[in-house]
Structure formats: C-alpha cells, structure tokens
Amino acid sequence: MNSVVFGHGRLTVEDIVSIAKTKQPVEISNSEVFSQRIDSAVNFLDTLLKEDGVIYGVTTGYGDSVTTEVPLNLVEELPLHLTRFHGCGLGDYFNDVEGKAILATRLASLSQGFSGVSWDLLNLLVAFINYDVIPAIPQEGSVGASGDLTPLSYVAGALVGERDVYFKEQVVNSKVAMEQLNLKPITLRPKEGLAIMNGTAVMTALSCLAFDRAQYLTKLATRITSLSSLALKGNSHHFDEILFSVKPHQGQQQVAARVRDDLNHHEHPRNADRLQDRYSIRCAPHVIGVLADSLPFFKMTIENELNSANDNPIIDGVGEHVLHGGHFYGGHIAMVMDSMKTAVANLADLADRQIASLVDTRYNNGLPSNLSSSCDERRFINHGLKAVQIGASAYTAEALKLTMPASVFSRSTECHNQDKVSMGTIAARDGLRVLQLTEQVLASTLLASIQALRIRVRNNELSLASLSPELIHMYEDIAEYFEDLCEDRPLESVLRLTVDYIQQQRWSLYE
C-alpha cells in the first residue's frame, strides 16, 4: 500500500480511516519547505529559552498557573509532569482502531509545523502507527478545551515509556513494546508535552471514524427502504423523478433515485393498494436526505480541523512569533457531532417504524404475524420477529435519548481559566454510541425485510428478476446466512453477525 504522507498537502477523512482500519503505512514529508518549518520552530524555541523568553507552558505553569514562572533549571522536567498529572482518565478504553486514528490525527496537527516539536517526536509517532503500538486511552475526562488534555496525555505518556499500549494483541507497557522494536522512548523537549496534549485530536479522530460509518448508513438505510417498500407492496411512484425535481435538495433527490433504481421503477412501476404509503416509506428520502445533504458540510469541517495546528501556543519559527490563542477549542467538531448524531438517530427512528409495519398484520399487507413462516398447525406457538422488533425500539429510544447536544453543557473548569469549553469529545463519543445503536436497529430491520421478501417470493407475489441486480445480490447474500424463520430460535448471533457486516461495510452500495 502507498504511504500517507504527513506534512505535504491536505489529509482527508478517508486517509485517517484507512490508516486506522487497513494498516496503511504513514511517512513524514521530506520536502525542504516542511523541514524548514520543523527546524525553524525548534531553533526559535531554543533561542528564546537562552534569552529567558516567557512562553506559556514552556517557562510558565499550565492553565490558571500561567502566572507561575518556572525556573530554567526545571523547564526540562515540566512537560513530563504535564503528562503525569493528567493521567487520571476513567471509563472504557478506546479500541485499537480508535487509538490508531487518534495517533494519526495528532500527527496531522503536529505536521503542520507550528507546534515546535522535534524530528524525534514525529518519527516515533510514525513508528507507533506503522508498528501498531497503540496507546490504551480512557474515553472519559476531556471537556474539549484546552483540547483533549487527559486522553492525549496517554499518547504522550506512551511515547516516554510510562503508559500501556496495545501491541501484538496484548496490553503491555510502551517501554516493553519499544524494546522489542528497537525503539527508544523520547525525552520530551520544552513545549512537546503541551504540543501532544493541547489539541483536538481525540474528538477529530472519532469524528473521522463516525463520518465513515454515517456515510455508509445513509446508503444502507436507503437500501433497507427499498426492501421494505417491496415487502409491504409499496407504491413505487412515491420516488418518482418528476416528484422529487420540485424539491431540489440534492441528497434527498439522490436517495429517491437510488430507491427508484433498486425497485427498477422505470421498467416495473408498482402501484400499491393504498394510494399513499405510510410516512416511514413515502417520506424515507426526506428523512435520509437530511443526513445525505449534511455529509459534505460535515466532511469539510472535519477536514479543516484535521489539517489545522490546534495546540497553544502556536510557534511560527520562520517568522519568529509565539502566538498565544485558543485553537485547542473543539467547537466545530462538537457542532458536527451533535448534528450528525441527531441525523443518524433519525435513521434509527425511520427503520424502527419500518420494522413495526413489517411485523404487524394491520399494516403489512398480508404478511404473516411477526413474519413467522410457521405452518398453520404450529403458528400458535411461534412468534417470529416479535422480540427483534421490541429490541429495535429499545435501541432507537436509547439513540434518540442521546441526541441532546453536548456542546450546550459547557462547564467552567480549572480555576475558571477554562470557563467556556466545547464538550466536543463527549459529543463525538455520543455520536459513536448513536451510530452503534442505529446499526443495531438497521440490522434488525434489514433481517425483517429479507424475511418478508422471502415470504413474498415463496408465495409468488414478487419476482426477484424484476429488481435491480445489486438488490438481488444483497438479498441472496443475506438469505444464505439468515435461514427462513419457520420455528422460533435465538437470533442474537445472526443479529450480531449482521451488525458486524454493517460495520465492515460488507455490501457495496450505490457505487
């Protein structure tokens, strides 16, 4: 695989996702312009220290302790203390994919060349990524300004050999992992502890992973709508091209076009017994389209943050400036993730209403109760997908509950120095949880729609040949591992497998 080059051009969401999930290697730019930015910032900091310059976090304490001057004989120890006293994170740990995305995102910021970090630090971060030495980072403890201090302290602590990492499917001290790879822990230079920790890398990394999942769910919810419409004998004219031409949201129009193509509406238009289907089918493009139309803005905003220098202070070595500001503030990521989780939760709500119609004989247009294929004499004791539908409603309720925006819960912290904070990392974590719950709802509705179509096909009420090849392929793939539900059986394993397939993006949708 070609390496992703840091320090040369803009990085994309896809770069971070690929590094985190596919082991794509990384490297540092060897351009003269990049080298000059790195070298000049380091040399400028060294010059300032010799001249007794006052630099926040280098010759002063941190945060509210900015008024505390640090004696020059202790300056070298200051960054190590920053990594240690922030080692107080709690909660579950980010997994290795999330941890690797965090490493890559922090490297992206430091590679802008305005953080005053050394080649040793950059090269060790590259080695950690390429050798899969992934810091074990607790999820809880960041308010999103001054950036992700506590979780990123686990990155800094791992680089100096004092924290645990995931390595070769084990959790070991980072020093042990480095010894096996002939790597040496770094000694943090002045400003380097702050450079690693004072930024938005955790929330931005999570938002890259979340974007990738949300983009896929937009397509999957569209495909499930197509399957559900067929299963319910829906009216394909609800997705008519002329109809959608008069409401010009591009994402919404794209969703309608995809359903139209799935149903092969051009050759086999379908009229339902009802003039108008219920909203969960008829208005599905309008629901899914909100997320589809929001994704480009989400991507642009995430990538702007990804390609930013977001620590403090900013070190302009070429122009010889130390610029004190607040680029660690994660407001843009907080806004993206608060918005994304709301749009994604609406996909869960949509799919939950679709499965509710599929299992209910009052609304499913002749399908058996709870989609059980049980024969007549055994139908009294078989309950099909009844509990699966209950589960889908439970996941949906939890997803909807989590849509309260995190960014409005700013708390004044750290002696009122951090008196307005972003809560971006909490928003990102909420977003990942909403994605997980929505994937569970979509898995439930996907299986229900396949079971319903299986019944229609068996009863000669539907010809698969009349549908698009892509939809037929997906139906046949799922029907192969999800056997006909004739007798009640535990469905946990097939649901978990379907969720895994969704997260692996097993089905290529609408390429």
Cα gap 328→123, rounded to integer Å: 23
Structural tokens at position 64: 């509210």
Cα gap 291→460, rounded to integer Å: 36
> Who contacts 181 (Cβ-Cβ below 8 Å, separation ≥6)?
127, 131, 133
- Are 151 and 139 in contact, with CB atoms under 8 Å apart? yes
Assess whether the previous peptide bond of 207 is cis (omega < 30° from 0): no
Per DSSP, the three-state class of 41 is: helix
Annotated catalytic residue, options 56, 131, 363, 501: 56
Cα gap 180→131, rounded to integer Å: 11
Structural tokens at position 200: 């938005």
Clarify whether 166 is annotated catalytic: no
Structural tokens at position 101: 């995305």
What residues form DSSP beta bridges with 5? 27
Short-list 491, 471, 486, CA closest to 392 = 491
- Distances in whole angstroms, Cα of residue 380 to Cα of each of 150, 364, 383, 386, 487: 57, 19, 8, 13, 11
Per DSSP, the three-state class of 366 is: coil
The catalytic residues are 56
